[in-house]
Chains A and B, each alone.
Chain A
Amino acid sequence: MRPARAVCWRGLLIALLCLAPLVAQAVEDIAQIKVAKGAVFIERGGKRLPAKVGTPVRATDTIITGPDGSVGISFVDNSLLSMGPNSELAIDRFAFNSTTHEGTFNTSLRKGTLAVVSGKIAKQSPTAMKVKLPASILGVRGTVFLVRVEE
């Protein structure tokens, strides 16, 4: 790394550290809603926001569908997640390095139905993607699978 650039990065890092107490979490968009039918919400920072096609999704969001709702989400690592009605999925952790493809993708399905096509994170490492259910945990080595949690 060139020295000028290194100084620049250090400056940025210090600025970010100063801002850290103000910004509780990284606000990077990690996915986007591509399909939305009926009632679909994103729970973010204690608030429930209506979601539609084009709404960005962030790490630590919770996605909720109503009795008539369904939603399809495309992630930056090409993972595709979709949910049927009366479903609730929390994104616990999402990290993706687009250079090395290393990352972590942890979600919790609290109720409802979920369809998954895993992406680059799971392809890079068979231990990087996990889906938690109320009584179990899924280790995702790929690729297409369905999950249901009854209420």
Chain B
Amino acid sequence: MGFAAAIALWVALVVGYPRGGHEMVVLLPDADGKVGTIVVETDKGEQVVLNSAYATARADPVGTVKRETVKEEEIRQTFQSALAAQPKKPVSFTIYFDTGSDELGDAMKPEIERVLAEMKSRESPEVTVIGHTDLVGANEDNDDLSVKRAERVRDVLVRFGVPADRITVAGRGKREPAVRTSQGVDEPRNRRVVIDVR
């Protein structure tokens, strides 16, 4: 084995192959101003936690990672095209139900109209119809009821001309109450179907 090849092998084994260029990760504030958390961990085991707005980490191909401060302007420029291509944020609409019931009243009509208007404003729109219940009764019963409610709303959307293949139905049962209550509380604001338009 030649000397150069031996050196190359040593570099490959000890340092690791550089498998690409530099990596950059930037945490942005959420739409509501809150800031999340991203943990950057390199193959070498180095770690940086990003948890403030515009916090930036830069890693090199051999796995050294450092925190950096980068100007907001530079970030906007580097990611201009990716940011410009972001899809519209999903928007939610809500329809309420009577206790234990999957019957829909006329009161839901304006909300359905708003869903249709939102769909019209989007390219290739899709909807997910998600049923929820209050905290009265057993888990399985509420799972069933939440799906039934969602299916009712789906049928209404179809009647209003939304193609069925654009609609997905889900039931969250009592896992995601809009208002936190004790078990067994008959809370009208939790008996609902949420329509996500994306």
Q: Spell out A's residues near B (CB within 8 Å).
A: 32-35, 37, 53-54, 70-74, 76, 78, 80, 82-85, 87, 98-101, 110-111, 113-115, 117-118, 126, 133-151
Q: Which of B26-47 contact A (CB under 8 A)?
A: 26-31, 34, 36-44
Whole-angstrom distance between the alpha carbons of A126 and B39 in the complex? 10
- Whether B123 lies near A35 (C-beta < 8 A) is yes
Tell me whether A72 and B63 are in contact in the complex, defined as CB-CB below 8 angstroms, given that A34-B123, A99-B170, A139-B41 are known contacts: no
Chain A's interface: helix, strand, loop or mixed, by majority? strand
Whether B34 contacts A84 by the Cβ 8 Å rule is no
Q: A115-B82, A144-B30, A146-B25 are in contact. Are A74 and B172 (CB under 8 A)?
A: no
CB distance from A28 to the nearest CB of B (A): 11
Question: Which 10 pairs of residues, A with B, have the shortest CB-CB distance?
Answer: A150-B21, A142-B36, A84-B81, A134-B20, A98-B170, A34-B87, A139-B39, A54-B124, A84-B82, A70-B85
Q: Mark B86-98, 1 if CB is under 8 A from A, else 0.
A: 1111100000000
Q: Which residues from chain A contact B42 at a C-beta distance below 8 Å? A: 135-136
Interface pair B128/A82, CB less than 8 Å apart: no
Contact B85 A147 (CB under 8 A): no
A136 touching B43 in the complex, CB below 8 Å, given contacts A78-B196, A98-B128, A144-B30: yes
Q: Which of B72-80, B101-109, B113-121, B155-163 contacts A (4 or more CB under 8 A)?
A: B72-80
Chain A residue contacts of B27, Cβ below 8 A: 144-145
Please give, as numbers and ranges, the residues of chain B lying within 8 Å of A151 by CB-CB distance. 20-21
Q: Does B22 contact A (CB under 8 A)?
A: yes
Q: How far is the CA of A81 from the CA of B28 in the complex (A)?
A: 14
Expressed in whole angstroms, the Cα–Cα distance for A70 and B39 within the complex equals: 26
Of chain B, the residue at the smallest CB distance from A151 is B21
Contact B26 A145, beta carbon cutoff 8 Å? yes
Residues of chain B contacted by A140 (CB below 8 angstroms): 36, 38
Contacts A134-B20, A141-B39; is A71 near B85 (CB within 8 Å)?
yes
- Contacts A133-B59, A139-B41, A147-B24; is A82 near B36 (CB within 8 Å)? no
Chain B contacts with A in 1-31, Cβ cutoff 8 A: 18-31
Q: Which of B44, B75, B87 is A73 in contact with, Cβ under 8 Å?
A: B87
- CB of B88 within 8 A of CB of A84, answer no
Q: Contact: B41 with A141, CB < 8 Å? A: no
Using CB atoms, name the residue of chain B closest to A127.
B39
Complex CA distance for A82 and B87, rounded to whole angstroms: 7
CB closest residue in chain A, given B27: A145
Can you list 27 contacts pairing A with B, beta carbon distance less than 8 Å?
A34-B123, A35-B86, A73-B87, A74-B87, A78-B198, A80-B87, A82-B85, A83-B85, A84-B81, A98-B128, A99-B170, A99-B172, A113-B79, A115-B82, A126-B37, A133-B23, A134-B20, A134-B61, A135-B19, A135-B60, A136-B43, A138-B38, A140-B36, A144-B27, A144-B28, A146-B82, A148-B23
- Take A99-B171, A136-B43 as given contacts and tell me if A145 and B25 are in contact as well, using a CB distance cutoff of 8 Å: yes
Chain A positions within 8 Å of B25 at CB level: 138, 145-148
Assembled-state Cα–Cα distance A133/B90 (Å): 27
- Is the CB–CB distance between B126 and A138 below 8 Å? no
Residues of B within 8 A of A150 (CB): 20-23
